[in-house]
């Protein structure tokens, strides 16, 4: 064969042998090569460092509080509208023109203090007229009494004069009363909540003049289920909170209705609220909390520590700078605390801030100062 043709064929055979050699090397060392150069993000540890180690998760800052023993109660919650203990609409008792106004809405008055004056010139004249008629008949009756002793006047005439005198005295008293009604006064101590008339207005007997209310104390009428009847008693403390601004009030049960409303199955309680701030007024809407049962020496944690996960009550406990997830059983709860029946031991630190970012075993850093829950409101 021609040597010129053989030379290229030898070169092609050598190249194919070299390619096969490299392919065999790659196939035979696949696992070792993969072990030495793992892909990013492979394996259960996620992304790894250049040395194949998982980076440390930074600790999550949290605040904690200790599980401690204390007292807690369960309460029945209800709503009520605050009412004045006494409220009255003052009416005119005579006809006339309003001559002076002595009170305005918002004024605080004592019992008997002047509200307004109706022009009383006519009524004073009526009093004078009735007095003159009474004095005249008294003189006649005195003269006839002397004559009756001497049998100079008939018994019938004498008795008629006696009756006329009695009527004249009654007429004088009525005229005096009408004159007194021209000066309108506060029926009891309280605050003027509404004024209906103006200066110079002509009023008739029965016209509404003012509304006055006594704000001390205020009352709240609450309806509770009949099943709670055995747990309620007079003078029992009641906590209230205004819906408008959250103001806390304290009251006591003053009256418990002796009957059950057959329509609603409830019992009416009258709660008396003393020492209310000046800003509190009748008509304010309030939430009331009545203690129905109390437990002493209960294991308590802040209510904020409890979170709900998939229908379970869960807390996170701080153990050796790690968060441990615990499923807990709860008892009584109030606005600030929850009773622990199972899942946390006394003295353990529960996470109360930052717990929603935690998972079981997550590293944590406890903030300085921990967590100081607000003092529980006594009931």
Per-residue model confidence (pLDDT) at position 196:
97
Per-residue model confidence (pLDDT) at position 60:
93
Please, is 275 exposed, middle or buried when counting C-beta atoms within 10 Å of its C-beta (0-12, 13-18, 19+)?
Answer: exposed
Per-residue model confidence (pLDDT) at position 192:
95
CATH assignment at residue 287: 2.40.30.170
CA dist., res. 290 & res. 251, Å (int) = 10
Per-residue model confidence (pLDDT) at position 231:
84
User: 276 and 302 share a domain?
Assistant: no
CATH assignment at residue 163: 1.10.287.470
User: Do 266 and 239 touch, CB atoms closer than 8 A?
Assistant: no
Please say which residue of 265, 294, 323 terminates a domain. 294
- Does residue 171 sit within a domain? yes
User: 361 and 299 share a domain?
Assistant: yes
CA dist., res. 290 & res. 220, Å (int) = 12
- Does residue 2 sit within a domain? no
Per-residue model confidence (pLDDT) at position 349:
95
Q: How many domains does the chain have?
A: 3
CATH assignment at residue 302: 2.40.420.20
Q: Which two tokens stand for residue 317?
A: 């406990």
Element housing 296 (H / E): strand 285-302
Per-residue model confidence (pLDDT) at position 48:
46
User: 137 and 155 share a domain?
Assistant: yes
pTM given for the model:
0.58
Domain that holds residue 280: 76-85+215-294
User: 244 and 263 share a domain?
Assistant: yes
User: 81 and 225 share a domain?
Assistant: yes
Residue-wise pLDDT tens digits, 174-215: 999 999 999 999 999 999 999 999 999 999 999 999 999 998
Q: Degrees (nearest 5) of the Cα angle 83, 85, 90?
A: 95
Cis (ω within 30 of 0) for the bond into 62?
Answer: no
User: 81 and 229 share a domain?
Assistant: yes
Please say which residue of 294, 315, 334 terminates a domain. 294
Task: State which residues of the chain have pLDDT below 50.
Answer: 1-52, 372, 374-379
Q: Report the SS3 class of residue 14.
A: helix
CA dist., res. 235 & res. 149, Å (int) = 69
Q: Which two tokens stand for residue 343?
A: 């899942």
- Does residue 4 sit within a domain? no
DSSP string, 86-155: EEEEEE--S-EEEEEE---TT-EE-TT-EEEEE--HHHHHHHHHHHHHHHHHHHHHHHHHHHHHTT-S-H
CA dist., res. 337 & res. 305, Å (int) = 9
């Amino acid at each position: 064969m021609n040597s010129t043709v053989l030379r290229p064929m030898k070169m092609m055979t050598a190249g194919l042998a070299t390619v096969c050699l490299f392919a065999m090397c790659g196939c035979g060392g696949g696992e070792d090569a993969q072990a030495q150069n793992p892909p990013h993000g492979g394996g259960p540890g996620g992304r790894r460092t250049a040395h194949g180690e998982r980076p440390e998760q930074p600790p999550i800052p949290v605040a904690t509080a200790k599980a401690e023993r204390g007292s807690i109660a369960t309460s029945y919650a209800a709503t009520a509208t605050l009412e004045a203990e006494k409220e009255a609409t003052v009416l005119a008792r005579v006809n006339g023109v309003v001559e002076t106004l002595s009170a305005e809405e918002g004024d605080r008055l004592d019992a008997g203090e002047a509200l307004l004056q109706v022009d009383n010139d006519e009524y004073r004249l009526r009093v004078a007229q009735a007095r003159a008629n009474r004095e005249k008949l008294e003189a006649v009756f005195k003269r006839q009494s002397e004559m009756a002793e001497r049998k100079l006047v008939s018994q019938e005439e004498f008795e008629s004069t006696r009756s006329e005198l009695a009527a004249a005295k009654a007429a004088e008293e009525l005229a005096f009363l009408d004159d007194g009604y021209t000066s309108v006064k506060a029926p009891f101590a309280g605050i003027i909540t509404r004024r209906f008339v103006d200066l110079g207005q002509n009023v008739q007997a029965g016209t509404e003049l003012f509304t006055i209310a006594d704000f001390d104390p205020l009352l709240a009428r609450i309806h509770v289920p009949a099943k709670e009847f055995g747990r309620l008693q007079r003078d029992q403390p009641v906590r209230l909170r205004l819906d408008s601004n959250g103001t806390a009030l304290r009251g006591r049960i003053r009256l418990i209705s002796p009957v059950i409303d057959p329509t609603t199955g409830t019992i009416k309680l009258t709660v008396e609220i003393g020492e209310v701030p000046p800003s509190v007024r009748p008509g304010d809407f309030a939430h009331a909390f009545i203690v129905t049962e109390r437990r002493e020496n209960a294991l308590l944690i802040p209510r904020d520590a409890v979170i709900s996960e998939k229908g379970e009550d869960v807390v996170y406990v701080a153990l050796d700078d790690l968060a441990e997830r615990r499923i807990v059983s709860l008892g009584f709860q109030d606005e600030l605390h929850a009773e622990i029946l199972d899942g946390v031991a006394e003295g353990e630190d529960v996470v109360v801030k930052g717990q929603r970012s935690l998972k079981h075993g997550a590293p944590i850093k406890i903030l300085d100062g921990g967590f100081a829950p607000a003092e529980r409101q006594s009931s």
